[in-house]
Structure 1
Amino acid sequence: MQLQDIDKSRYRKHLNWVIGLCIVSLTAGSLGISQVLIHLFPDSDGSHFHWNLLGVLVTCAVIAAALKKVKNHPFMAEVVYVWELKQALNKITRKMPKLKKAAEQGNPNAMLAIQYSYSGSRQLWHLDDNTITMEELSLWQAELEGLAQAHNVTLDIELYDERILREF
């Protein structure tokens, strides 16, 4: 996955709409389904936990199916991009200890994966207004650049492909 420039305000606006619609759908759907089930199959004990749970589960499945169906709609482009970026960064994060050890030994693929992680994290944190750890990220970036210079490695995140993670 290649990093893309996206409009932060458009992303936030669309994300808020998606979250809002999911909340409204979950509330209305789960209550509606559970009330119909309670009406059709009343419980003499007055406990309707299983019908309420089933309403929530069915509504979650419907929402997931709807999101999957509209995933490729232009309205969802930024939201889906960020979701996929988070998945890509999680794959790298799970291998980060091995990547850092290999980078210290001069492995260019490890350095490239770490560079991609830092660049993607910077973009993600900027989009989500999470600036608390940006200073730490700058320190980590400087450390990586020092390693790359020491091992004569050029880091171009355009060359990153997640298949290189299989090596670690």
Structure 2
Amino acid sequence: MKLIDIDKGRYRRHLNRVLIGCALVLAAGSLLVSQTLIALFPDPDGSHFHWNALGVLVTAAAIGLGLSKYRHHDYLTEVLYVWELKQSLNKITRKMRKLEAAAKEGDAGALLALQYSYAGSRQLWKLDDNTIIMDELNSRQAQLDKLVAQYDLTLNIDDYDEKILKRF
């Protein structure tokens, strides 16, 4: 996955609208489905937990299908990009110990994966206004830059491919 610049304002606006829309649809749809089922199949004991749970599950599945169907719509471009970036960074994070060990040995693939991870994390944290641990990221970036200079390498994050991670 390539890192691209996205408009922070548009991303935040669209993400908030999607989240609010999903919450409203979940609330209304769950009530509609569960109340319909309760009306069709009343329980003499008055316990309708299973119908309420089914209403939530059916509505959540409908929302998931709807988002899946429209995931490539222009309105969701930034939201989908950030979601995929988070998935990509999570894959790297799961291999972080092995990547850091290989990077100290001068493995170009590991160094590239770390460079991608740091650049992607920086972008993600800026989009989400999560700059609390940016100093730690800058420190790790400085360590990575020293390793890159030590092994006389040039890293281009556009060359990153997730397949690199299979070796670790």
Specify if TM > 0.5. Answer: yes
Shift of 1:150: 1.0
Misfit runs of 4+, over 3 Å: none
- Structure 2: segments with no counterpart, 5+ residues: none
State the partner residue of 2:29: 29
State the partner residue of 2:151: 151
The separation in 2 between residues aligned to 1:32 and 1:84, in whole angstroms, is 32
Shift of 1:61: 0.5
The separation in 2 between residues aligned to 1:126 and 1:83, in whole angstroms, is 15
CA offsets per residue over residues 58-115 of structure 1, 9 Å max, x none? 0010000000111111111000000000000000000001100100111010010010
State the partner residue of 2:12: 12
* Letter aligned with residue 138 of structure 1: N
CA offsets per residue over residues 17-73 of structure 1, 9 Å max, x none? 100110000000011100111111111121111111100100010000000111111
CA offsets per residue over residues 106-129 of structure 1, 9 Å max, x none? 101001001000000000000000
- Name which of structure 1's ranges 42-51 and 113-122 shifts more when overlaid on structure 2: 42-51
TM-score by length of 1: 0.98
Matched, 1:106 2:91: no
- 3-state DSSP of counterpart to 1:154: coil
* Letter aligned with residue 113 of structure 1: A
The separation in 2 between residues aligned to 1:154 and 1:47, in whole angstroms, is 66
TM-score by length of 2: 0.98
- How many aligned residue pairs are there? 168
The separation in 2 between residues aligned to 1:25 and 1:2, in whole angstroms, is 33
The separation in 1 between residues aligned to 2:49 and 2:28, in whole angstroms, is 17
